[in-house]
Amino acid sequence: MTLRELLGAIAAGALALAALPWLASDFLLSLALTCLMYIGLAVTWAMFSGATNYLSLATSAFFGIGAYVTAWGFGSLPYALVVPLGGLAAAAFAALVGAGILHLRGAYFAVLTFGLGELVRHAITYSEKTYAHTVGRVLQDAPESSVVYWTVLLVAAAAVAACAAVRASRLGLALAGIGADEERAQTLGVDTRAAKITAFAIAAFFAGALGAAVAVRWTYIEPASVFNPFIGFQTVLIAMIGGAQTLAGPMISAVVFSLLTELLRLQFPYAYLIVLGVLLIVLVLYLPGGLASLVGRWRRVRA
């Protein structure tokens, strides 16, 4: 498929999904919304981390920053403005931090990005307590669920389209080059630093926008719930299981896992997480390329 056909397919899919609020029940709609949220998160995570092999655990930090932009801005600013603002705030944060930490590789980078989420969470908790004298914030007059759904759909579709475009661009090639051998890419004239920061910020933009868009679903916003590291882990897990080097892999596994999570997590919270843990271990050990690598293997066998 060429890029233009791919973008057309994404637009067509998004248009078809836009009809859902008239067809489905509230429960199905919220299920679909969760699926879309994880599609957007997993696809953009894979765009940066899957290509470069920089394991970022900062998704929950970006998501939480977006959600807090909503918490602060919603009410005085329109919803349509809060969502891109949340994305921009997260992207600015990512660019700033990325400039400082993107020269670190491997476990250091992963741990540091994980620490970022905690750092921002603790900083917000502290400043809210000291200056605003609150623990959390209550959101009033949330938009209708169909409006939230369309917004999330739009952001998720834009995320997928952006990833498709990046993959086909010079930036995408530079990212893949960094993942294969960063020093070689540098020697061949790729500005690896700029490429990494740009991609990191793009991924952060969508995570932040999704956080800002989804935040209105919760009437009460507090740091512990929006900076939940579970969102970050689940995103990594989804992308890895689907195959972080592909575009379709994370999308498919996002749907599967969001459904599983929504159905099982409330009923069997601990058992579900145990199963998730075991699944992650087994998958990393026996299928490190993700489910998408199965398709490739199957094709090779048939050929």
Partner 1 sequence: MGFWLELAASGLITGGIYAVVALGLNLQYGLMRIMNISHGEFLMLGAYLTWLAHTVFGINPVAFLPVVAIVLFLTGLAVYRLCFRRITRTSPSVEIIEARSLLVGFGLMYLVQNAAYMTWGADLRGYSFLADAVEIGGARFAGNSLLAFGFAVAASLALLAVLRWTMLGKAIRAMMQSPTGAQLVGIDTAFLHPAVFGAGLALAGVAGALLSMVYEITPGMGEPYTVTALIVITLGGLGSAAGCLAGGMLLGLVEAFGMHFTSPSLKMLLSYAVFIAVLLARPKGLFAR
17 lines the binding site for partner 1 (CB under 8 A): no
The tokens describing 79, both together, are 């919803």
Query: How many residues of this chain bind partner 1 (CB under 8 A)?
Result: 38
Tell me the one-letter amino acid at 79: Y
* Angle between helices 229-242 and 59-73 in degrees, nearest 10: 130
Rg (CA), the chain: 19
CB atoms within 10 A of CB 217: 18
Closest approach, Cβ 248 to partner 1, in A, equals 21
- Please report whether residue 108 would count as binding partner 1 according to CB under 8 A: yes
Report, in Å, the least distance between residue 238 CB and partner 1.
13
Comparing CB distances to partner 1, the nearer of 112 and 168 is 112
Q: Which range of residues in 39-47, 124-132, 151-159, 162-170 is near partner 1 by CB under 8 A?
A: 124-132
184 binds partner 1 (CB under 8 A): no
Which residue number, 106 or 296, has a Cβ lying nearer to partner 1?
Answer: 106
- Told to check if 189 binds partner 1 by CB under 8 A, we report no
Stretch that binds partner 1, among 8-16, 63-71, 109-117, 164-172 (CB under 8 A): 109-117
x/- letters, 50..69, toward partner 1 (CB under 8 A): ---x-x--------------
Residue from the set 3, 26, 77, 105 that interacts with partner 1 by CB under 8 A: 105
Which residue in 204, 172, 183 sits closest to 41, CA to CA?
204
Point out which span in 136-144, 146-154, 156-164, 280-288 binds partner 1 (CB under 8 A). 280-288
Using alpha carbons only, what angle is made at residue 241 by residues 297 and 210, rounded to the nearest 5 degrees? 135
Choose, by CB under 8 A, the member of 65, 157, 251, 276 that binds partner 1.
Answer: 276
- The alpha carbon torsion through 4, 5, 10, 14 (nearest 10 deg) reads 100
- 165-204 exposure pattern, b = at least 16 Cβ within 10 A, e = fewer: ebbeeebbbbbbbbbeebeebeeeebebeebbbbbbbbbb
Strand ranges inside 98-192, DSSP E: 137-138
Does residue 110 interact with partner 1 by CB under 8 A? Answer: yes
Residue 147 CB, shortest distance to partner 1, in Å, is 35
Q: For residues 33 and 148, is the Cβ–Cβ distance under 8 A?
A: yes
The sign of the torsion formed by the CA atoms of 184, 190, 192, 196 equals: negative
d(CA 111, CA 98): 14
Q: Which is nearer to partner 1, 230 or 298 (CB)?
A: 230
Stretch that binds partner 1, among 2-10, 32-40, 167-175, 264-272 (CB under 8 A): 264-272
- Cα–Cα dist 134/140, whole Å: 16
Q: Which stretch binds partner 1 (CB under 8 A): 24-32, 76-84, 118-126, 166-174?
A: 118-126
Assess 273 for contact with partner 1 (CB under 8 A): yes
Under the criterion CB under 8 A, does residue 96 sit at the interface with partner 1?
no
Helix, strand, coil percentages in the chain from 3-state DSSP, rounded to 5: 80, 0, 20
Which residues between 221 and 240 bind partner 1 (CB under 8 A)?
Answer: 233, 236, 240
Q: Degrees (nearest 5) of the Cα angle 46, 47, 51?
A: 85
Task: Examine residue 278 and tell whether it contacts partner 1 (CB under 8 A).
Answer: yes
State the residues that interact with partner 1 by CB under 8 A.
53, 55, 100-101, 104-108, 110-112, 114-115, 118-119, 122-123, 125-126, 129, 233, 236, 240, 269-271, 273-274, 276-281, 284-285, 288
